[in-house]
Amino acid sequence: MKCQEVSELLVAYLDGEVTPSERTLIQAHLAECNFCRKELTALSATQRCVSQSLQVKTAQAAPSPQAWSRLQARLAGEARPSLSWLPTWLQRLAPGVGRTTQIFQGGLTMKKGFAALAAIALVVVLTAGAARYWYPQVVFLEPIRPGEEGWAVDWVEPSAVNQGDAVNGIVRGPSGETDYRCVVLLEPIQPGEQFSKASEPVCSRGPIDSINGVSLDSSYLIARFYDDTWYRNLLVEYYGSSACSPTISYGIPDLPDNLDNKFASGRAYSNCDHIHVYDHNNYGGPSYSCGANCPTFYALNDEVSSWRTTD
Amino acid sequence: MDLVLRSQGGDEEAFAALFQKHKNLVYKTAYLMLSDANEAEDVLQEVFIQVHKSLHTFQPFKGAFTTWLHRITVNYCLNRRRKRRLPVLSLDEISSTSVRGSSLPFADQLAEEKAIHQALSQLSHKLQAVVILRYYWELPYAEIAQILDIPIGTVKSRLNQALKTLRKELGALTEDAPFPGVLIF
């Protein structure tokens, strides 16, 4: 075993998570290599520091004595009559115990400060009008201020787009990847539409040559997205029937649960020279655009919910 | 009968006991991931509401109840952090504690603690989650993989990446630290 290979396994070795044969090879290498022995010692000390630090941090952390009674009250509240007679968007604003602040702090994106004020009025009206269903409750909401989470985020202007990356050229046929990942076949975005029709994903370790009977031999590799930065841990490969062009682009407006908020890097191929990723579904919220090779999506790492690729 | 099974059968007393038994697991994980006692308290409530709602979907033959609970908790914390972009491991909270067993003077202990917390806070959400599950809860890689719904190889690579990043950040703290028993031949 070489130092590089051993280095990749040292943490697992310390954690007792290597195979017996790996263990033997690592120990043989360590007996000969002073550099790797030092590395092992340092990593072990790091583990110990981290472990102690986490223990210290939680030494006095404990739930409040009222935690169970609060939960009981919440469970009783949840069991009250449903609000199905209300339109969906009004149901979301219904002030169930302890829920309203959550909606306004994390669930809705206020584009203007006055939207929050309007929502306060709505909550008051709902609370009064539906008193027979809910316990009376006073809710104080603060409007979102410029710069705070939830305030309108500027669109990334084309001039700010990173266009310096090399393009990846036309790539056709199955990729030959052997790691576990999913493959999805896309149709180009049709005129007047905003998204590509997508096949069900096929996920497997080893070659994936066709999807729903459609051979990938004549399909174009459109994009790959990875779980980690710098193209590590491939999650999904997207194929399309055509390469990108001024009139042909691809996009997914709502990533499925197993891919939502997971992407941290991506690459586009087949004349698709730009990747655009978005925090929210339907290409909404904060966005980031880059060339064909995006080793990181920066603030949107682990946040991407929709994406597009264009020529 | 098992508390989970009884709770699945609608036994509220069993559910109360289940809460008391596992509240620290949820609270402490949330506290480590969100670094805020009020947030951790909210997560505890939300997670057990979720558990109460979906307990009927839990299938014991697929894994331990605690694995399922960890999974709900970690996902809830990750989503909460995404929405609110909270700082992690705030430095203000460290002053009341010290490194157990350390022979360093108090000021040095505090500096060391702050350095470690700062280094941890630099890690991405994904790396922090594996670090907490491994080095706080001491879970095996296979269980971490199940909780995070990722392959074991990814757990391995994330821990490797996290530890090496931390080692680099902590520098002198780990370079010179003697640790008897590390080398096993």
Is the pLDDT higher at A50 or at A138? A50
Residue contacts between A and B (CB atoms, under 8 Å): 176
* Helix A34-58 / helix B152-170 crossing angle, nearest 10 deg: 90
> Which of B83, B161, B167 lies closest to A42 in CB terms?
B167
Q: Are B4 and B74 found together in one domain?
A: yes
Residue of A nearest to B110 (CA): A53
CA-CA distance, A310 to B133, in Å (whole number)?
Answer: 40
Check residue B47 and give its pLDDT: 95
Same domain, B57 and B119: no
First-residue to last-residue Cα distance in chain B: 47
Highest mean pLDDT among A256-265, B98-107, B174-183: A256-265
| Residue contact A11–B84, C-beta within 8 A | no
**Which of B160, B165, B176 to mutate to test binding with chain A, by most A CBs within 10 Å of its CB?**
B160
Same domain, B33 and B55: yes
- Angle, CA B91 vertex, CA B89 and CA B95 arms, to 5°: 120
| A46–B174 C-beta distance less than 8 A | yes
pLDDT single digits (tens) A99-131: 333 333 333 333 334 444 444 444 444 444 443
pLDDT of residue A24: 93
Residue B114, chain A, CB below 8 Å: the answer is: no
Return the closest-CA partner of residue B120 out of A80, A284, A57, A129.
A57
Answer whether residue B178 is part of any domain.
Answer: no
Residue A70: its chain B contacts at CB < 8 A? Answer: 45
Amino acid at A248: I
Query: Any chain A CB within 8 A of the CB of B111?
Result: no
Residue B175: pLDDT band with limits 50, 70, 90: low
Overall number of domains in chain B: 2
Q: A155-211 pLDDT, tens per residue?
A: 333 333 343 345 778 888 888 887 888 999 999 998 888 889 899 888 888 888 888
Which residues on B lie below 8 Å from A31 (Cβ)? 185
From chain A, pick out residues whose CB is under 8 angstroms from the CB of B97: 56-57, 59-60
Q: Distance (Å, rounded) from C-alpha A287 to C-alpha A154?
A: 9
**B17 falls within a domain:** yes
* Statement to judge: residues B1 and B85 lie in one domain: yes
Q: Which of B41, B58, B90 is the last residue of a domain?
A: B90
pLDDT at B109: 62
- Domain for residue B183, yes or no? no
pLDDT of residue B67: 94
* Mean pLDDT (chain A, rounded): 76
Q: Is residue B98 part of a domain?
A: no
Q: Which of A145-159, B59-73, B94-108 has the highest mean pLDDT?
A: B59-73
Of B90, B112, B137, the residue that ends a domain is B90
Based on the domain organization, do B3 and B70 belong to the same domain? yes
Q: What does the pLDDT read at residue B50?
A: 92
Tens of pLDDT, residues A75-99: 887 665 444 444 444 444 444 433 3
Could you report the per-residue pLDDT of B103-160, keeping only the tens digit for each? 445 556 666 777 777 788 888 888 999 999 999 999 999 999 999 989 999 999 999 9
- The answer to whether residue B139 sits within a structural domain is yes
The burial of B107, by beta-carbon neighbours within 10 Å (0-12 exposed, 13-18 middle, 19 or more buried), is given as exposed
What is d(CA A266, CA A226) in angstroms, rounded to the nearest whole number? 6
Q: Find the CB nearest B32 among A30, A57, A62.
A: A57
Are the beta carbons of B141 and A15 separated by less than 8 Å? yes
Kindly state whether residue B96 falls inside one of the protein's structural domains: no
Q: Is residue B179 part of a domain?
A: no
- For residues B78 and B117, membership in a common domain is answered with no
Return all residues near A158 (Cβ < 8 A) that are at least 6 apart: none
Does the residue B185 lie in any domain?
no
CB A228 within 8 A of CB B127: no
B133 shares a domain with B61: no
B55 and B19: one domain?
yes
Q: Quick one: B154 and B111 in the same domain?
A: yes
Tokens linked to A202: 């096929």
Q: Name which of B85, B116, B157 is nearest A53 (Cβ-Cβ).
A: B116
B90, B115, B140 — which closes off a domain?
B90
Confidence band of A295 (pLDDT split at 50, 70, 90): confident
Please report the pLDDT score of residue B72 as a whole number.
94
**CB-nearest partner of A8 from B124, B160, B179:** B160
**pLDDT reported for residue B105:** 53
Domain identity same for B37 and B58: yes
Min Cα distance A281 → chain B (Å) is 14
Query: Is the separation of the CB atoms in A46 and B163 below 8 Å?
Result: yes
Parent domain of B78: 1-90
- B10 and B85 both lie in a single domain: yes
Asked if the model's pLDDT at residue B32 lies above 50, the reply is yes
Domains along chain A? 3-58 (no CATH), 79-152 (no CATH), 158-310 (2.60.20.10)
pLDDT of residue A76: 82
One domain for residues B73 and B118: no
- The pLDDT score that the predictor gives to residue A126 is 47
Task: Tell me how close the Cα of A157 comes to any Cα of chain B, in angstroms.
Answer: 24
Among residues 51-90 of chain A, which lie with CB inside 8 Å of chain B? 51-64, 67-68, 70-71, 74-75, 78
